[in-house]
Amino acid sequence: MTRPIAILGGTGPAGTGLALRWARAGETIIIGSRDSARAQQTAAAIQQKAGPQSQVSGMENSAACAAADILMLTVPFEGQATLLKQLKPSITEGSILIDATVPLAASLGGRASRTLGIWQGSAAQQAAELVPKEVSVVSAFHNVSAELLNGDAPLDCDVIVCSDDPDAAQLTRELAAKIPGVRAIDGGKLENARIVEQITALLIGFNIRHKGHAGIRITGLPPQAYR
Ligand SMILES: NC(=O)c1ccc[n+]([C@@H]2O[C@H](COP(=O)([O-])OP(=O)(O)OC[C@H]3O[C@@H](n4cnc5c(N)ncnc54)[C@H](OP(=O)(O)O)[C@@H]3O)[C@@H](O)[C@H]2O)c1
């Protein structure tokens, strides 16, 4: 069994899409939810899509946290802080929290193509303030379409990974590169998450105007930057 990945809020499209791609790549996935029955139902549906060899289970979020030390957070911004405060006692020492939260203005009733100003700089930096000190926070997967992740075709996009912990960032880039078509790129320190989170609002605007599933590609870097 591989080191399990717990996807907190894993019942939504972003969580199920990542779970599907990683399950197909042989990763062991735990779907987290506020409701254990919903987590189990979602896990069963992903397992059916990913194939009989895939390892996908479902648990309530705090049990999922306790069962894994790679945590992928895919909840709407309005739920991020409350959920992390609630989960803090269940997060094990040395865990990595990968945050995909986009602070969309829609969280507060505004437009989906705008972001909110966050006191800490970004949703990822807010997450870093809320988890235990020995937990490394990584920001990634903001610019990937959940709809495409839930499909079968390779993706056509890059994933920018930002963190103050180089080892956690490296592990996250390796996970991103397991998704067919994705190249993972070192985006520098966690403070750069602010920029990456805002790109998502721009992509949502493209999708609204052009009826598509926009992603981004970074060009012009030497080959080793994409490894
Ligand atoms: N959708 C995309 O294309 C995409 C792409 C990149 C990044 N993102 C970001 O990834 C995150 C998840 O996106 P999504 O579209 O999957 O979101 P979503 O469907 O709105 O929510 C995902 C899951 O989060 C849980 N949740 C909802 N409200 C919550 C709350 N107040 N407190 C705790 N848990 C709550 C729900 O699971 P339970 O009810 O089962 O607990 C829900 O199924 C967002 O921050 C989004 O901005 C999305």
pLDDT tens digits for range 110-128 = 877 888 989 999 999 999 9
* Residue with CA at minimum distance from ligand 1 atom 20: 76
Q: Is 9 in the pocket of ligand 1 (CB under 6 A)?
A: yes
pLDDT at 59 over 70: yes
Q: How confident is the model at residue 4, as a pLDDT?
A: 97
Nearest alpha carbon, ligand 1 atom 40 = 33
Is the torsion defined by CA of 101, 152, 43, 185 positive or negative?
negative
With 80 as the cut, is the pLDDT of residue 132 above it? yes
pLDDT digits (tens, 9 = 90+) for 93-103: 999 999 999 99
Instruction: Write the residue with the smallest CA distance to atom 38 of ligand 1.
Output: 33
Q: Around Cβ 57, how many Cβ atoms within 10 Å?
A: 18
How confident is residue 1, by pLDDT bands cut at 50, 70 and 90?
low
Segment 170-185, tens digit of pLDDT: 999 999 999 999 999 9
Largest CA distance in the chain: 47
The pLDDT of residue 136: 98
Q: Give per-residue pLDDT as tens, 156-172.
A: 999 999 999 999 999 99
pLDDT tens-place string over residues 8-50:
999 999 999 999 999 999 999 999 999 999 999 999 999 999 9
Q: Does the model's pTM come out above 0.95?
A: yes
Closest C-alpha residue for ligand 1 atom 9: 101
With a 6 Å cutoff on the Cβ, whether 17 touches ligand 1 is no
Residue 113 is predicted with a pLDDT of 80
Distances (CA, A) of 82 to 39, 75, 130, 135: 19, 11, 9, 17
Is residue 17 within 8 Å of residue 49, measured between CB atoms?
A: no
- Number of residues in the chain: 227
Residue 180: per-residue pLDDT = 98
Instruction: Evaluate: CB of 155 within 6 angstroms of ligand 1.
Output: no
pLDDT of residue 29: 98
Cα–Cα distance, 148 to 86 (Å, whole number):
31
Query: Does residue 188 sit in helix, strand or coil?
Result: coil
In tens, the pLDDT along 136-152 reads 999 999 999 999 999 99
Taking residues 52-67, what's their average pLDDT? 97
- Percent of the chain beyond pLDDT 90? 92
Q: SS3 of 89, please?
A: helix
For the chain, list the domains and their CATH numbers: 5-226 (3.40.50.720)
> Which conformational region is residue 221 in: left (phi greater than 0), alpha (psi within -120 to 50 degrees), or beta?
beta
How many angstroms is it from 35 CA to the middle of ligand 1? Answer: 14
- Band of pLDDT at residue 105, cut at 50, 70 and 90: confident
11 lines ligand 1 (CB under 6 A): yes
